[in-house]
């Protein structure tokens, strides 16, 4: 492994960062940190028609929330900056012209309508239109036109693009860390546009030039870019540059395993596909996110790491440091990996148990303003009793509401199961036993009540079940003695009396 590892995550700021993009960023980050390298963020904003101003900051915020911040990027350690392609556009034209000068690219003056006409003609014959070796001389370009004509067109300001000149009938051998050796014949490749008439480069040219100038050692990106590998490798060859090593990650598939998970699938399938909150600047519509749904960033990162990669063992739970140690591109699979929305909940339940109760108090209070004035220490103790059954902080209220509000009605099924002929009398007697108890000690409460039950020589359930019903409103909840300890004996007696009146 090269000692100077430099990788980049290069999203386009056209909207919120999809969870698939987060995984790509994560794998780049893990690979960089594993090899003491540098993780770079580069904003590829050459497509001005789709540019969304707030998207860049969203991407940065999303990476920070996930705990995978970039080492170099916009406004941070700009050793090879700028890191926005729109601010580098003066660079690209000179490189496009170098390719023309060395015979690897050419000017093309065809208008959009002319190209569209040709495309339709091909479609009429059931063929796919490709602008390449077999037809390039029939179009208006610097291959078919005289040098004088080309010069005249450029001088008078005719619109043109610069296309790559694919070699005819050549076999390319491409190497990918994940997919191995790939062979492709240039006959099937089209002469891609490298530089557009608006003075901006296409992704292909800008990507290769920037990766070279920023000394990128490994390009780790999604499978959707695999068809571009042939062109990118040829561009490196045309510039006489050493190419980075490539690794194309498998697709993240829908939960059914059929088709790529898209940005629209969140609304359709009922789970988030974005890491943090996104507000569309035009419609002001808020997109559902993992942060807003109450997921811990550690859960999201752990889950995403295992979509398409395995550590070679049955271990599933990894913190970020563990992931860095274990990560290896050789263990990334080739085939698509299914997204399992239930599995990420499993991870969140695990990470819930790792949280300090104190750190969850504010989150719980923010979701439930009615308890905002209750002492943090009291809420913290309640959280400690219920969090093991929670997946999200939003579950806390359902699991603990009876600590804050006395039940005024009882679950009918629990009533039928619990209330017997002498239940009211037992509860009356229990009240008398509770009155003198020291309720500052859970142990004292438990000992006193259990001793009384033993003395009565009755089943524990005959007392504890109706007691739980009185305290909770159902037969759910944590240990009844913990509940009594936290709500106090006065409130406990009040609730038992209410149950007696009901039965």
Kindly give, in sequence order, each residue whose CB lies less than 8 Å from that of residue 285, ignoring residues fewer than 6 positions away. Answer: 279
Domain boundary among 386, 404, 422: 404
pLDDT band, residue 3 (cuts 50/70/90)? low
What are the pLDDT digits (tens) for 450-502? 999 999 999 999 999 999 999 999 999 999 999 999 999 999 999 999 999 99
SS3 content of the chain, % helix, strand, coil (to 5): 50, 10, 40
- Partners of 247 in the beta sheet? 220
In a domain, 241, yes or no: no
Number of domains, the chain = 4
Kindly give, in sequence order, each residue whose CB lies less than 8 Å from that of residue 32, ignoring residues fewer than 6 positions away. Answer: 5, 6, 7, 38, 39, 71
> Is 263 annotated as catalytic?
yes
Same domain, yes or no: 140 and 185: yes
pLDDT value for 200: 87
**CATH number of the domain bearing residue 462:** 1.10.10.350
Domain boundary among 175, 195, 215: 195
In a domain, 117, yes or no: yes
**CATH number of the domain bearing residue 154:** 3.90.800.10
The rounded mean pLDDT for the chain is 95
pLDDT band, residue 15 (cuts 50/70/90)? very high
- Partners of 164 in the beta sheet? 105
Q: How far apart are CA 309 and CA 332, in angstroms?
A: 4
Same domain, yes or no: 189 and 95: yes
- The answer on pLDDT for 99 being more than 90 is yes
What are the pLDDT digits (tens) for 350-387? 999 999 999 999 999 999 999 999 999 999 999 999 99
Catalytic residue among 93, 98, 245, 263: 263
| Residue 261 CA, distance from chain mean position | 12
Same domain, yes or no: 343 and 392: no
pLDDT value for 425: 96
Same domain, yes or no: 349 and 376: no
Q: How far apart are CA 434 and CA 449, in angstroms?
A: 8
What are the pLDDT digits (tens) for 215-254? 999 999 999 999 999 999 999 999 999 999 999 999 999 9
In a domain, 378, yes or no: yes
In a domain, 289, yes or no: yes
Which residue reads 């752990």 in tokens? 302
Task: Give long-range contacts, CB 8 A cutoff, 24+ apart: 494-499.
Answer: 494/406, 495/406, 495/407, 495/470, 495/471, 496/427, 496/430, 496/431, 496/434, 496/467, 496/470, 497/431, 498/406, 498/407, 498/408, 498/470, 499/410, 499/427, 499/466, 499/469, 499/470
Same domain, yes or no: 183 and 95: yes
In a domain, 207, yes or no: no
Same domain, yes or no: 167 and 186: yes
Tell me the average pLDDT across 196-217.
94
- As a whole-number percent, the residues of the chain with pLDDT over 90 amount to 91
- Partners of 260 in the beta sheet? 253
Tell me the average pLDDT across 200-217.
95
Same domain, yes or no: 121 and 51: no
Q: How far apart are CA 321 and CA 324, in angstroms?
A: 5
What are the pLDDT digits (tens) for 378-413? 999 999 999 999 999 999 999 999 999 999 999 999
Same domain, yes or no: 63 and 119: no
- The answer on pLDDT for 2 being more than 60 is no
In a domain, 148, yes or no: yes
In a domain, 308, yes or no: yes
Same domain, yes or no: 306 and 260: yes
Kindly give, in sequence order, each residue whose CB lies less than 8 Å from that of residue 148, ignoring residues fewer than 6 positions away. Answer: none
Same domain, yes or no: 272 and 290: yes
In this structure, the chain runs to a length of 503
User: 403 with 483: CB under 8 angstroms?
Assistant: yes
**CATH number of the domain bearing residue 63:** 3.40.50.620
In a domain, 244, yes or no: no
Can you spell out the DSSP letters for 326-391?
H--GGGB-SS-EE--HHHHHHHHHHHHHHS-HHHHHHHHHHH-GGGTTS-HHHHHHHHHHHGGG-S
What are the pLDDT digits (tens) for 303-342? 999 999 999 999 999 999 999 999 999 999 999 999 999 9
Same domain, yes or no: 419 and 367: no
User: 209 with 73: CB under 8 angstroms?
Assistant: no
Same domain, yes or no: 392 and 412: no
Structural domain including 152 reads: 90-195
What are the pLDDT digits (tens) for 164-191? 999 998 999 999 999 999 999 999 999 9
Strand-strand pairing, 38-41 and 6-9: parallel
Domain boundary among 368, 383, 404: 404
pLDDT value for 89: 85
Q: How far apart are CA 286 and CA 279, in angstroms?
A: 4
């Amino acid at each position: 492994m090269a000692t100077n590892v430099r990788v980049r995550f290069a999203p386009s700021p056209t909207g919120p960062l999809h969870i698939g993009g987060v995984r790509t960023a994560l794998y780049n980050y893990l690979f960089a940190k594993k090899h003491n390298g540098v993780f770079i963020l580069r904003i590829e904003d050459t497509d001005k028609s789709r540019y969304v101003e707030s998207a860049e900051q969203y991407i940065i915020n999303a990476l920070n929330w996930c705990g995978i911040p970039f080492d170099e990027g916009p406004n941070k350690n700009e050793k090879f900056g700028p890191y926005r392609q729109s601010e580098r556009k003066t660079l690209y034209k000179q490189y496009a012209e170098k390719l023309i000068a060395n015979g690897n690219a050419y000017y093309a003056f065809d208008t959009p309508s002319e190209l569209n006409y040709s495309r339709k003609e091909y479609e009429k014959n059931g063929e796919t239109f490709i602008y390449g070796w077999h037809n390039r001389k029939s179009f208006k370009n610097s291959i078919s036109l005289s040098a004088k004509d080309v010069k005249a067109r450029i001088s008078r300001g005719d619109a043109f693009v610069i296309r790559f000149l694919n070699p005819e009938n050549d076999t390319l051998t491409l190497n990918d860390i994940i997919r191995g050796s790939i062979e492709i014949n240039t006959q099937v490749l089209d002469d891609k546009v490298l530089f557009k008439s608006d003075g901006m480069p296409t992704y292909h040219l800008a990507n290769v030039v920037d990766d070279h100038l920023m000394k990128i050692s490994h390009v780790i990106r999604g499978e959707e870019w695999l068809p571009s590998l042939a062109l990118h490798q040829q561009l490196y060859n045309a510039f006489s540059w050493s190419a980075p090593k490539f690794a194309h990650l498998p697709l993240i598939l829908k939960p059914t395993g059929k088709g790529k998970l898209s940005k629209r699938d969140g609304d359709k399938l009922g789970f988030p596909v974005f890491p943090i909150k996104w507000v569309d600047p035009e419609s002001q519509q808020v997109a559902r996110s993992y942060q807003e749904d109450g997921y811990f960033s550690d859960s999201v990162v752990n889950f995403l790491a295992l979509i398409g990669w395995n550590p070679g063992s049955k271990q599933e739970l990894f913190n970020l440091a563990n992931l860095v140690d274990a990560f290896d591109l050789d263990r990334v699979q080739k085939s698509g990996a299914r997204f399992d929305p239930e599995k990420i909940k499993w991870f969140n339940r695990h990470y819930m148990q790792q949280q300090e109760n104190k750190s969850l108090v504010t989150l719980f209070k923010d979701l439930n303003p009615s308890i905002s004035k209750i002492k943090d220490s009291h809420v913290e103790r309640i959280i400690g009793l219920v969090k093991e059954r929670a997946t999200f902080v939003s579950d806390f209220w359902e699991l603990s509401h009876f600590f804050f509000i006395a039940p005024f009605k009882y679950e009918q099924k629990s009533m039928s199961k619990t209330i017997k002929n002498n239940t009211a009398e037992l509860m009356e007697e229990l009240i008398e036993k509770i009155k003198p108890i020291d309720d500052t000690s859970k142990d004292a409460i438990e000992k006193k009540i259990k001793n009384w039950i033993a003395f009565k020589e009755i089943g524990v359930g005959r007392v504890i079940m109706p007691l739980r019903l009185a305290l909770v409103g159902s037969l759910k909840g944590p240990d009844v003695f913990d509940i009594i300890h936290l709500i106090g004996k006065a409130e406990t007696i009040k609730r038992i009396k209410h149950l007696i009146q009901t039965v």
